[in-house]
Amino acid sequence: MITIVSAVLTSKLPSHNASLAGLHTFGIDCKASLLFTVKQQDDLQVLQELLRQYPTFLILGGGSNILFTKDYPGLIVLNRIKGISAQPDPDNDRFVLLTAAGGEVWHDVVLYAVQKGWGGLENLSLIPGTVGAAPIQNIGAYGVELKDVFHHLEALDLETGELHTFDKANCMFGYRNSIFKHELAGKYLITSVTLRLDTRPELRLSYGAIQDTLDAMGITEPNIADVSQAVISIRQSKLPDPAELGNAGSFFKNPEISRKHYEQLQMEYPDIPGYPGSAADLVKVPAGWLIETCGWKGRRTGNTGAHSKQALVLVNYGNATGIEIWEHAQRIMRNIKERFEISLTPEVNVI
């Protein structure tokens, strides 16, 4: 039965019983009771009316960090607001403030900045998803996190309809974390993000294989475009394309453990890698190494498994259900806990 929402919505009714298969990168065949796309300012007013009638809702960007284990019994809101603009930083003319709407594709914004010669985003090339989702997760890669270039964002209060501004301190950024995943989860729709980019970029090449890749490319004096291309090449060599093999990138966060625990593990596993954690007494251990050491890399169970080139990536080999993938993830988590006394935490949002 199709519900009549209200006369004011007659031109912009949501879709009912809508397929989500093409709207998230795992590509699982599931449905939402209702689906509404926000493309412009007027749609925000329509959204307010919908939310008064349908209190169960989920905001979806590029769907690159989510695992649906069942049909969604409420309203899915797609953020597709577009637009990019820039202006000089009034506090320091070396920098530029780039503002991107929440529905822009993240990688498109990175390429825009790279083409302009504005540094800060090049290490974050090819991360899937939208701009509006980036602060929620505090996305990061190759030694850089969003918070490093973040200036402020604007977000719609879904209860009051007011537009609020959040600076870096307000967002309470952490490792793959922010206030929008906790106290303010589901309370705001991020309409735009403003980034502070450097017109005289300082390159960050020490993390991962960036320098080795540049060397292999024959580049001795790289610029930000070179770094961006190196990162793209690395990611494409290690991570499966969601269009060909459903996945959500890194499924787990890299865990942090005490230095004492790490030193104990080193006695049994001398090659265990470790990096500085968020505090002096913490060490960050690559989850991919833990998973691979336990023999999960490339191991397939039914329609899912850990990818053959990157153990941190769980994939949908075709026709996998969300429950099947989640159960596989839980098996890995139990194994890591039993062997290393380390608890893995999903980076992907499981719905």
pLDDT, residue 6, reads: 34
The whole-angstrom separation of Cα 283 and Cα 10 is 55
pLDDT band at 13 (very low <50, low <70, confident <90, very high): low
Strand partners, 349: 66
CATH number (domain holding residue 74): 3.30.43.10
Of residues 303, 270, 264, the one with CA closest to residue 289: 270
Cα-flanking dihedrals φ and ψ of residue 124, to 5°?
-100, 20
The whole-angstrom separation of Cα 259 and Cα 275 is 10
Residues 35 and 171 reside in one and the same domain? no
Residues 265 and 279 reside in one and the same domain? yes
- Catalytic annotation on 299? no
Of residues 191, 221, 193, 194, the one with CA closest to residue 205: 221
pLDDT, residue 10, reads: 37
Q: Which of 145, 196, 250, 256 is catalytic?
A: 250
Residues 59 and 92 reside in one and the same domain? no
Average pLDDT over residues 21-28: 93
Structure tokens at 207: 């993390």
Look at residues 237, 260, 293 and tell me which one is the last residue of a structural domain: 237
Residue 264 DSSP SS3: helix
The whole-angstrom separation of Cα 41 and Cα 60 is 17
- Catalytic annotation on 331? no
pLDDT digits (tens, 9 = 90+) for 287-341: 999 999 999 999 999 999 999 989 999 999 989 999 999 999 999 999 999 999 9
In a domain? residue 38: yes
Residues 292 and 341 reside in one and the same domain? yes
- Catalytic annotation on 334? no
Span of 32-36, 37-41, 290-294 with lowest mean pLDDT: 37-41
Residues 120 and 212 reside in one and the same domain? yes
Are the C-beta atoms of 224 and 43 separated by less than 8 Å? no
Helices 224-238 and 106-116 pack at an angle, to 10 degrees, of 150
CATH number (domain holding residue 289): 3.90.78.10
* Torsion angle, alpha carbons of 289, 291, 296, 298, to 10: -50
Element housing 110 (H / E): helix 106-116
The whole-angstrom separation of Cα 129 and Cα 156 is 19
The whole-angstrom separation of Cα 254 and Cα 290 is 10
Average pLDDT over residues 235-248: 88
How many domains does the chain contain in total?
A: 3
Residues 109 and 193 reside in one and the same domain? yes
Look at residues 25, 47, 79 and tell me which one is the last residue of a structural domain: 79
pLDDT band at 126 (very low <50, low <70, confident <90, very high): very high
Report the share of the chain in percent with pLDDT over 70. 96
In a domain? residue 318: yes
Residues 165 and 260 reside in one and the same domain? no
Residues 337 and 298 reside in one and the same domain? yes
Domain boundaries, position 297: 241-350
In a domain? residue 2: no
pLDDT, residue 12, reads: 62
Average pLDDT over residues 31-44: 90
pLDDT, residue 240, reads: 87
Residue 194 DSSP SS3: strand
Residues 107 and 179 reside in one and the same domain? yes
pLDDT digits (tens, 9 = 90+) for 40-62: 878 988 898 899 888 899 999 88
Q: Which of 80, 176, 196, 235 is catalytic?
A: 176
pLDDT digits (tens, 9 = 90+) for 306-317: 999 899 999 999
